[in-house]
Amino acid sequence: MRLFKNVFAICIMIVIGACGNSPRPAPGIRLDATANVEIIEHKGTSLGVHTIPPWLSEYIQRQGVRSVEALPEFSGMYVIVGESYGTSLQTVLAWADNFDAQQQIGATISTRVASVLKEHESLLPDNDDARRSYDNAINTLITATYTGARKESDWWTHTRITERGQQPVTRFTAYTLYTIDRRILDEQIRTQVTRLRDENPELSQAFNAVTAHVLERGLEWE
pLDDT above 90: residue 192: no
State the pTM of this model.
0.73
pLDDT at 218: 66
Q: With pLDDT > 90 as the criterion, what percentage of the chain qualifies?
A: 30
pLDDT above 90: residue 154: yes
- Split into its structural domains, the chain has a count of 1
> What is the spatial distance between Cα 165 and Cα 37, in angstroms, rounded to a whole number?
15
> What is the spatial distance between Cα 129 and Cα 179, in angstroms, rounded to a whole number?
38
Choose between 115 and 155: higher pLDDT.
155
pLDDT band at 7 (very low <50, low <70, confident <90, very high): very low
Across the range 205-211, mean pLDDT stands at 77
Q: Which of 3-12, 30-39, 115-124, 178-187 has the lowest mean pLDDT?
A: 3-12
In a domain, 85, yes or no: yes
Across the range 202-220, mean pLDDT stands at 73
pLDDT at 175: 95
pLDDT at 221: 40
| pLDDT tens digits along 96-126 | 888 888 787 877 777 766 667 677 777 777 7
Secondary structure class of 52 (helix, strand, coil): coil
> Positive or negative, the Cα torsion across 24, 26, 27, 30?
negative
pLDDT above 90: residue 178: yes
- Classify residue 159 as exposed, middle or buried by CB count within 10 Å of its CB (0-12, 13-18, 19+): buried
In a domain, 49, yes or no: yes
> What is the spatial distance between Cα 64 and Cα 9, in angstroms, rounded to a whole number?
12
In a domain, 222, yes or no: no
> What is the spatial distance between Cα 62 and Cα 71, in angstroms, rounded to a whole number?
13
The chain-wide mean pLDDT, for the chain, equals 79
Q: Bridge partners of 180?
A: 78
pLDDT above 70: residue 152: yes
pLDDT at 21: 46
Domain that holds residue 164: 2-217
In a domain, 125, yes or no: yes
pLDDT at 63: 65
pLDDT above 90: residue 202: no
Strands 77-86, 169-181: pairing kind:
antiparallel
pLDDT at 114: 66
Residues 192, 144 contacting (CB under 8 angstroms): yes
| pLDDT tens digits along 13-62 | 434 444 444 445 455 566 677 788 899 999 999 989 989 999 999 998 87
